[in-house]
Amino acid sequence: MKNLRIAISAVFGSMWIAASPSAIAQAAPPSPATLFSLSGVYQSIPDGTTLPGGFRNSGSPEQISITPAAREQMKSVDLKDDSWKTCRPVGNFRMMARSGTVMEFLSAGNMFFLLFEDFTHGFMRKVYFGRTHEQRSTQTSDADIPRTKLTWFGDSIGRWENDTIVIDTVDFNEDTWLNDKGVPHSEAMHTVERIRPIRGGEALEYRMTVDDPQMLATPYAYVRYFKKIDREIEDDNCVEEH
Amino acid sequence: MRKACYLTLSIALLAALSWAQTIPGENWTGYYMMARGRDLTGLNVVSPNFGGTVVAHLQPWAKLKRDSVNGVLDDNGFVCKPAGFLRAYGSPFDTNGFFAPGKDRMTIIYWPTDTVLFRRIYYNREHPRNLKPSWNGHSIGRWEGDTLVVDTIGFNDRTWLDGGGAPHTEDLHLTERMRQIQHNGNTYMEIVAQVDDPRTLTSPYTFSRYYKKQNYEMEDYVCNDAVDFYKEWREQERRARQAQSQPAEAK
């Protein structure tokens, strides 16, 4: 009888898995298979549009509230130095908010990549599960060159909270801005992103929260929705002529 | 309570089983770095002199073109444009790749990513007709046991066959056999490849390369981050060429 129960639940369990990616996360410990169910290409919906279910973008990097220190530092900012214009990454906080951002969610075992179609400005992000920031790799392909601690994209670690992936990122360099006006951030910037599949996996709800006590008067959050699209990302490379 | 446990365990088990069954080459997942020195002991490296092999197969026009190329001023990689993955097989620099298996494809993310980019090898489909040429071409693959056999066409003609500037045409055709092997207690990706381009080569050439699986995380490398370094390098190269040509002009 016990075996029969297991067999029946196994059969229905497998059907359930196929039907609903979010159900897996709730019913079983997150696994590579769970991450894999999110693989695909997604595009953020334009502001002002609404997905069925009433899902709408909210907030914007332009609405952040900054400290006097940030205001002072902005006096020396030259908008010509915007990394957007010089074919460098614009940073996770600005990139994820941009209308029409296309990215591929690529799972790879106990981690996933976010590959951006606008590769130069978004580049490629890597999110690791099952480790802390302190356990980050220090090794590089060249033993003589130490790994840089502070990077354009920071160090991202992920964990599951029910059906939501929570990404915690620290260790950013100071080469990106918080918005198009050139608001700087410090190395103390800390972001928390929450990604949740909605509408049976056809879309992702994405919430970005940023904190930087040196530059932000208060933590700030925005929400974006990404629709799954049926195409590959293209090779779109911005090239600055040297 | 017991029922819930059974259900949870069954689902976890089935998720794991269905994952293993539906993802070909799932155990390939990970980061591999080109093997060198002692890591190659006992492995059969075909065409270790990559550039020499390429040159030996070039038609006269291609040889002339390679000889006239400036390794810095004419190199895509120095202006942060894609340089293609093919020449990376012979790169004197460390060239690495992350293999991410999927149900219907194998994705390879190369390092340095912004100049070599990434590549998808699709299963169960043909090359499209009227293929638009691209930096890394269009790859299809089929599994022969534990070997992934890859066929790639559709390259544009803006990359090189090697780091020395050997050209190719849009007729470039690459076949690769990729296989994960265990050797001396380590895991390697073995890649045996044949390159053909009837408009550039006198005959096809073959090579093999080995990539050792790493247990550390892939690094970021932002090409345009090094813009000042490249500017300086290109300026030095320009001055050196100018200095070389001046005595000749004086005569």
Token reading at B63: 């040889």
Which of A108, A119, A139 has the CB atom closest to B98's CB atom?
A108
Test the A interface: residue of B1, B3, B7 with most A CBs within 10 Å: B7
Give contacts of A141 with chain B, Cβ < 8 Å: 33, 94, 96, 111, 219
CATH number of the domain residue A18 falls in? 2.40.128.20
How confident is the model at residue B115, as a pLDDT?
78
Number of C-alpha atoms within 13 angstroms, CB side, residue B79? 14
* Domain range for A71: 2-27+40-229
- Would you call B120 and A31 a contact, using CB atoms and an 8 Å cutoff? no
For residue A219, being part of any structural domain is answered with yes
| pLDDT bucket at A239, cuts 50 / 70 / 90 | low
Contact (CB<8Å) A128/B217? yes
Q: Which residues in chain A have their CB less than 8 angstroms from residue B11's CB? A: 9-10, 13-14, 16-17, 24, 27-28
**Total count of domains within chain A:** 1
Residue A166: inside a domain: yes
Q: If you count residue pairs, one on A and one on B, with CB atoms under 8 Å apart, how many are there? A: 131
Q: Which among A2, A9, A156 is the top mutation candidate for probing chain B, defined by the most B β-carbons within 10 Å of its own β-carbon?
A: A9
Tell how far CA B143 is from the center of its chain.
19
DSSP secondary structure, B172-218, as one string: -EEEEEEEEEEETTEEEEEEEEEEE-TTTBSS-EEEEEEEEEESSPP
| Phi, psi for A94 (deg, rounded to 5) | -75, -40
State the ipTM, two decimals: 0.82
Pick the residue from chain A with its C-alpha nearest to B95. Answer: A141
Query: A234 in a domain, yes or no?
Result: no
Q: Is residue A174 part of a domain?
A: yes
- State the residue for tokens 């050792």: B212
In a domain, residue A138? The reply is yes
Question: Alpha carbon of A242 to those of B9, B190, B203, B223: distances in Å?
Answer: 58, 37, 37, 12
CB contact under 8 A, B227 and A13: no
Tell whether A35 is covered by a domain.
Answer: no
Give a yes or no: residue A52 inside a domain: yes
- Summarised one tens digit per residue, pLDDT across range A98-155 is 999 999 999 998 899 999 998 888 889 999 999 999 999 887 766 677 778 899 999 9
Q: Name the minimum distance, in Å, from the CA of B192 to any CA of chain A.
A: 23
At residue A10 the predicted structure's pLDDT band, cuts being 50, 70 and 90, is very low
- Please tell me the distance from the alpha carbon of residue B51 to that of residue B128, in angstroms, as a whole number: 31
Residue A168 falls inside a structural domain: yes
* Mean pLDDT of the region A19-46: 68
pLDDT in tens, chain B (251 residues): 455 445 445 544 545 555 555 899 999 999 999 998 999 999 999 999 999 999 999 999 999 999 998 877 788 777 777 888 899 898 866 678 999 999 999 999 998 877 778 899 999 999 999 999 999 999 999 999 999 999 999 999 999 999 899 999 999 999 999 999 999 999 999 999 999 999 999 999 999 999 999 988 988 878 766 666 666 766 777 788 778 777 655 54
